[in-house]
Amino acid sequence: MSQFSLDSLPMISVDAVTGMDVHGYLKHLRGLAPLVRSPMGPLIALRRRHTELLFSDATRQMETETKLMQGISSGPIFDFIDTAMLMANGETHLRRRQPVARAFAFKLMDAMRPKASALAEELVLQHLDAGPIDFVKEIAAQIPARLIANILGIPASDLPIFMRWIEDSAAALGFIDLEQRERIEASLTAFNAYVDDLLAQRRQSPRGDFLTDYVHAVAEAGNLSEAEIRTQVVGLILAGSDTTRGSLCVILAHLLAHPAQWAAFCADPDGLKKAVVEEGLRYEPIVSMIPRVALRELDIDGYLVPAGAIVAISVLSCQRDPEVYADPDSFNIFRTDHPRWNLGFGAGAHRCLGEALARAELEETLTVIARLAPRTHMAGPAPTLAPAAIRQIGPMQVDFDGA
Q: Tell me which residues touch ligand HEM (CB under 6 A).
A: 85-86, 97, 144, 148, 235-236, 239-240, 243-244, 247, 286-287, 290, 344-346, 350, 352-354, 357-358
286 vs 398, beta carbon nearer ligand HEM: 286
Strands (E), 225-371: 289-294, 298-300, 303-305, 310-314
Return the number of other C-beta atoms located less than 10 Å from residue 395's C-beta: 13
Contact 240, 104 (CB under 8 A): no
Contact 277, 363 (CB under 8 A): yes
Closest approach of ligand HEM to the CB of residue 201, in Å:
20
30 vs 359, beta carbon nearer ligand HEM: 359
Closest approach of ligand HEM to the CB of residue 195, in Å:
14
Instruction: Collapse the DSSP code of 186 into the 3-class scheme (helix H, G, I; strand E, B; otherwise coil) and give the result.
Output: helix
34 vs 346, beta carbon nearer ligand HEM: 346
Cα–Cα distances (Å) from 351 to 85, 290, 355, in that order, read 11, 11, 9
Return the number of other C-beta atoms located less than 10 Å from residue 212's C-beta: 17
361 vs 399, beta carbon nearer ligand HEM: 361
Residue 231 and residue 196: Cα distance in Å, rounded? 10
Contact 236, 353 (CB under 8 A): yes
103 vs 357, beta carbon nearer ligand HEM: 357
Closest approach of ligand HEM to the CB of residue 96, in Å:
8
Residue 140: DSSP 8-state:
I
Residue 289 and residue 177: Cα distance in Å, rounded? 19
CB-side neighbour CA atoms (13 Å) of 246: 25
124 vs 248, beta carbon nearer ligand HEM: 248
Q: What is the CA radius of gyration of the chain?
A: 21
Closest approach of ligand HEM to the CB of residue 235, in Å:
6
239 vs 370, beta carbon nearer ligand HEM: 239
Closest approach of ligand HEM to the CB of residue 340, in Å:
16
Closest approach of ligand HEM to the CB of residue 200, in Å:
22
Closest approach of ligand HEM to the CB of residue 247, in Å:
4
Q: Name the closest residue to ligand HEM (Cβ).
A: 354
- Which strand ranges, in their side-by-side order, compose the sheet holding 397-399? 133-134, 397-399, 377-378
Contact 53, 294 (CB under 8 A): no
282 vs 399, beta carbon nearer ligand HEM: 282
Closest approach of ligand HEM to the CB of residue 246, in Å:
8
Contact 25, 38 (CB under 8 A): no
In this structure, what are the phi and psi dihedrals at residue 31, rounded to the nearest 5 degrees?
-70, -20
Closest approach of ligand HEM to the CB of residue 354, in Å:
2
97 vs 127, beta carbon nearer ligand HEM: 97
Residue 10: DSSP 8-state:
P
Residue 252 and residue 56: Cα distance in Å, rounded? 33
